[in-house]
Structure formats: structure tokens, C-alpha cells
């Protein structure tokens, strides 16, 4: 199953199958007590990342290397933050108690995102209640689900009416998503071929600007860092973040703050772009374009740049400009309904859509870097949460009853070797190690996670910390 899924990814990107004997994928679903084949999806997308890194290594050295992925480890990587510990303690929860499912008229449900204060305030303004879940639930039950969904989005919030899979298939946005490619890799400008910077890892010396939030986008940049890229995460003090979870997705990265509401901030980012190789963003399509950082503008500023862009719903359909998150895609697409108990929907205990999207973005970025080195050009890589969700659902379900009785996590003796520890400014950090294994250039992170905004918005010397001793 995972090899078939991997072939779909490679074929979509126009990448050849691995050399004979180069790739091993061990294990199969079910890994956790879930009907969806999340282990298959995780293993296939991680295998694609590993193969792309191996291709870059061969481009550097002429040498092939083998790639291996364990399906069980890949499955738990789809909730990597669950295993984060700071000095032996779990971080405070980032899930706002107001986030979740609310009843709507005629026995339906709606998922309302309240993890960001602006989204919470927008939803409460529509509902006309204070920040009390019981009162908000009473107010939501007087609404038609789709009407409330639309009203919250119109106010600047984020919500998803819970649909069955059949209802979603008939929706105009689902029909648009169904014909979108899983991953778009498009040449958007001319530039001469650009060899990879010198170094002894697949992405040594490659500079990545990470303007992403939550899970999928940060996972992309973290995946690039584990193969040697210099990643500089850019945030702003006035924007909400994901709290301590940022430490899990921030492993391997530098972190700086830039206020793009100011002319000085815009010029600072422009200066970083001129010396960057990859620009990754997960804001709504118009947000950065309004500041002059649309992909075409980036390609004009820095010919040869690889732009990686994540949206919730893709670039087509009536919702193309809407906000969205993994949880919202689960709600609208039938996943939450199918995962429920018949009376109330339920989210998956893994953020499979987010993490798989992040792995696909990293894969696409490396494919584009290889094409830049071979043929030149500036490149745009686009992924969408809803399209990733469809791809996961399209893997099919595990046989009925085959996952019943499975434990909710890997046994301690199996999980323990997958975990690592390192010292960071916030304490001793326990984290999930990289899952994809390469024979010559083992995946690893060279920097500990730091609080957001720790560093100045300045590039280090290329590959300064990302070399093997």
C-alpha cells in the first residue's frame, strides 16, 4: 500500500521511481486504532522526502544512498508534538477550551476554531455570547450549520460545518479539490542553473525562509533542516502563535521577528529574500502578496528562488481564499463524521493532514531545488490541506475490525528508541527523532529549538552549523 501511495506522489511530481533496492518501507496499517490508513500516508510521504534528499546527494556527489522508513514510526510522527517534553514535563495545552464541535439546528454539528484569539473573537461576535462554552453552544443550536459557517468566515473567523463524505463530494469546493493535483511544481520565472552550495549533507548551505504557522508549514521547514538546510523562521510579535508546540516544530531553526506592517520590516525581509533559496509560507493567498511577496514578485527579486505555498483549499473553488486548518478540513470532508460515535463527530488523534502536507511541501521544495540546479528557473510549489485530506481518504480504510483493541499508542519499549533529547534555552527537550533514514547522510537537527524571536533577522554563514563532523 505505501509503495503504491509513494508512486502516486512521485508520478504527480514527475519524479522517477527509486533505483532497485534503494528504498525499504517496513510495516503496514493499522498502527493505531483508526480506520484510515494514516501509517501508509505518513510512510509514503516521508519516503518521498528521503528519496528527494538522496537525489540531491547524488547530484552533489554522484553517489546513491539507501532510504528506509518504518510505517509505525511514520504514523506516530503525525502527532509529533504529543511527545514533546520540557524538563520532563508536558507543555501546557494549546487547544483553546472554546475550540471544538458545537450543535447546530436539526441535530448537526459545526467545528469552530478558537485557538487564535482573533478567530475566537470573530466566532463569539457572530454567536453574540461571552467566552462561555455553554452559552456559545446554546446560541449555535439556533443556527443552520452552513449559514453559521459562512457567517463566521465573513467575520474573519474559521469554522467548518460537519458534513458526511457524500455531502462533501457534492459540494462545489470538494469538486474543485478533486481535480487539483496533489502537489503543484511550476516554473514561474527564468534564471540560470544554480548548483547546490558546497557541503556534506543533501541541503548543506541551502537557505530557507520559514513564514509559516501551526503545523504543516513549520513541518516542511523542519524537514528541510533535518537534511542540512539553514532555516530562519520569521514571526511577528503581534501575531498569535502555537505556544510551546513551536519548540517541536522549531527544532533545527533560527527564529527572528519582523513586523511587515512597517516599511523597515518589509525591506528587512526583502534583504533576506535576496540571499535565500526557499521561501515557504502558509498564510492565506493574498496576505503576503499585499506586502509585495507574491511568488512572481519574489522571483523578480531573487531569480532562482523556490517558493513553497500552503493553502487550506487550494487555488480553485469558491473557498480558495478561506481560512482553514487540519481540524476544519476533517469536519467538512466527512472524516470527523466517520470517526464519531454516531451521535457526535470526533477528530482523529493524529494531525495527519497537517504533517503529511508538510512532508509533501518539503519533498516538492527539494524537487524544485534539483530542477533549479539542472535547468535553472524560479519555481513555485503549492500544496493544499483539503487535497492532502482527499489523498489520505483515497488510501481506503483498513478492514473492519482489524484495528479494534489496538492500544492508543506504541508500547513504551517501541516508542523509546524513537525519542531523543537535547538542551535548549527553555530546558531539556524530549522530541521525536527524524523518521526517514538515509544510509550516508543520517537525518538530524543541528540546532535546538529556541523561543520565537531569539535571533536577529540575519543569515548565518552558509552551512555553518549543518555539517557532519
Give residue 22's domain range.
Answer: 2-92+178-316+348-438
Name the phi and psi angles at 81, rounded to 5.
-65, -20
The answer to whether residues 215 and 353 belong to one domain is yes
Residue 361: name the closest of 219, 196, 163 by CA.
219
**Number of domains forming the structure of the chain:** 2
Whether residue 10 is contained in a domain is answered as yes
C-alpha distance from residue 318 to each of 98, 330, 334, 371, 422 (Å): 27, 18, 19, 33, 45
Q: In this predicted structure, what is the pLDDT of residue 93?
A: 87
Strands 253-257 and 100-103: unpaired
Q: Is 39 helix (H, G, I), strand (E, B) or coil?
A: helix
Distance CA 393, CA 36 (A): 7
Distance CA 238, CA 223 (A): 27
The answer to whether residues 231 and 298 belong to one domain is yes
Q: State the CATH number of the domain containing residue 167.
A: 3.30.1540.10
Q: In this predicted structure, what is the pLDDT of residue 287?
A: 79
The answer to whether residues 310 and 406 belong to one domain is yes
pLDDT, tens only, 26-67: 999 999 999 999 999 999 999 999 999 999 999 999 999 999
C-alpha gyration radius of the chain: 21
Q: In this predicted structure, what is the pLDDT of residue 232?
A: 98
The answer to whether residues 10 and 50 belong to one domain is yes
pLDDT, tens only, 346-387: 999 999 999 999 999 999 999 999 999 999 999 999 999 999
Whether residue 219 is contained in a domain is answered as yes
Q: In this predicted structure, what is the pLDDT of residue 243?
A: 85
- Grid cell locating 72: 509505525
Whether residue 212 is contained in a domain is answered as yes
Q: In this predicted structure, what is the pLDDT of residue 386?
A: 98
Name the phi and psi angles at 80, rounded to 5.
-50, -40
N- to C-terminal Cα separation, the chain: 38
Whether residue 454 is contained in a domain is answered as no
The answer to whether residues 263 and 189 belong to one domain is yes
Q: 121, 354, 394, 468: which is the annotated catalytic residue?
A: 354
Contact 76, 31 (CB under 8 A): yes
Residue 426 annotated in active site: no
Q: In this predicted structure, what is the pLDDT of residue 33?
A: 95
Question: Is 0.85 surpassed by the pTM of this model?
Answer: yes
Distance CA 306, CA 439 (A): 27
Q: In this predicted structure, what is the pLDDT of residue 469?
A: 40
- Grid cell locating 361: 511541501
The answer to whether residues 77 and 153 belong to one domain is no
Whether residue 456 is contained in a domain is answered as no
pLDDT below 50 — which residues of the chain?
469
Whether residue 369 is contained in a domain is answered as yes
Q: State the CATH number of the domain containing residue 414.
A: 3.40.50.10540
Q: Which residue is it, cell 525562509?
A: 209
The answer to whether residues 110 and 233 belong to one domain is no
Distance CA 155, CA 81 (A): 31
Amino acid at each position: 500500500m505505501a509503495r503504491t501511495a509513494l508512486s502516486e506522489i512521485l508520478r504527480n511530481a514527475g519524479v522517477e521511481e527509486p533505483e532497485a533496492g534503494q528504498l525499504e518501507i517496513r510495516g503496514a496499517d493499522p498502527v493505531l486504532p483508526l480506520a484510515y490508513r494514516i501509517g501508509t500516508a505518513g510512510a509514503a510521504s516521508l519516503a518521498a522526502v528521503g528519496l528527494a534528499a538522496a537525489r540531491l546527494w547524488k547530484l552533489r556527489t554522484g553517489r546513491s544512498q539507501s532510504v528506509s522508513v518504518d510505517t509505525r514510526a511514520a504514523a506516530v510522527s503525525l502527532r509529533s508534538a504529543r511527545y514533546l517534553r520540557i524538563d520532563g514535563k508536558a507543555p501546557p495545552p494549546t487547544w483553546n477550551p472554546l475550540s471544538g464541535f458545537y450543535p447546530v439546528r436539526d441535530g448537526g454539528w459545526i467545528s469552530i476554531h478558537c485557538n487564535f484569539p482573533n478567530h475566537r473573537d470573530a466566532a463569539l461576535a457572530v454567536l453574540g455570547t461571552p467566552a462561555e462554552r455553554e452559552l456559545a453552544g446554546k446560541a449555535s443550536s439556533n443556527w443552520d450549520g452552513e449559514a453559521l459557517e459562512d457567517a463566521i468566515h465573513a467575520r474573519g473567523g474559521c469554522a467548518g460545518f460537519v458534513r458526511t463524505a457524500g455531502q462533501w463530494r457534492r459540494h462545489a469546493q470538494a469538486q474543485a479539490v478533486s481535480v487539483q493535483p496533489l502537489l503543484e511544481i511550476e516554473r514561474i520565472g527564468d534564471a540560470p542553473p544554480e548548483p547546490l552550495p558546497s557541503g556534506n549533507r543533501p541541503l548543506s548551505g541551502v537557505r530557507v525562509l520559514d513564514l509559516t504557522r501551526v503545523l504543516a508549514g513549520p513541518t516542511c521547514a523542519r524537514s528541510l533542516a533535518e537534511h542540512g538546510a539553514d532555516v530562519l523562521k520569521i514571526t511577528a510579535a503581534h501575531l498569535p502563535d502555537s505556544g510551546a508546540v513551536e519548540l517541536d516544530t522549531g527544532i533545527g531553526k533560527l527564529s527572528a521577528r519582523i513586523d511587515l506592517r512597517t516599511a523597515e520590516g518589509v525591506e528587512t525581509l526583502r534583504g533576506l529574500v535576496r540571499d535565500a533559496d526557499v521561501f515557504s509560507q502558509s498564510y492565506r493567498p493574498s496576505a503576503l502578496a499585499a506586502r509585495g511577496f507574491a511568488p512572481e514578485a519574489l522571483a523578480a527579486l531573487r531569480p532562482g528562488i523556490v517558493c513553497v505555498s500552503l493553502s487550506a483549499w487550494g487555488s480553485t473553488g469558491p473557498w480558495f481564499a478561506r481560512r482553514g486548518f487540519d481540524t476544519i478540513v476533517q469536519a467538512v470532508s466527512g472524516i470527523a463524521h466517520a470517526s464519531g460515535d454516531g451521535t457526535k463527530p470526533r477528530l482523529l488523534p493524529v494531525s495527519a493532514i497537517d504533517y503529511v502536507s508538510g512532508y509533501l511541501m518539503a519533498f516538492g521544495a527539494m524537487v524544485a531545488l534539483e530542477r533549479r540546479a539542472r535547468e535553472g528557473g524560479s519555481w513555485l510549489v503549492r500544496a493544499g490541506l483539503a487535497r492532502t485530506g482527499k489523498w489520505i481518504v483515497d488510501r481506503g480504510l483498513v478492514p473492519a475490525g482489524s484495528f479494534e483493541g489496538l492500544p492508543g499508542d506504541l508500547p513504551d519499549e517501541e516508542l523509546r528508541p524513537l525519542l531523543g533529547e537535547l538542551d535548549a534555552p527553555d530546558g531539556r527537550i524530549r522530541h521525536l527523532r527524524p523518521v526517514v533514514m538515509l544510509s550516508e547522510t543520517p537525518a538530524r537537527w543541528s540546532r535546538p529549538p529556541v523561543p520565537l524571536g531569539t535571533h536577529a533577522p540575519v543569515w548565518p554563514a552558509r552551512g555553518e552549523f549543518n555539517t557532519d563532523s
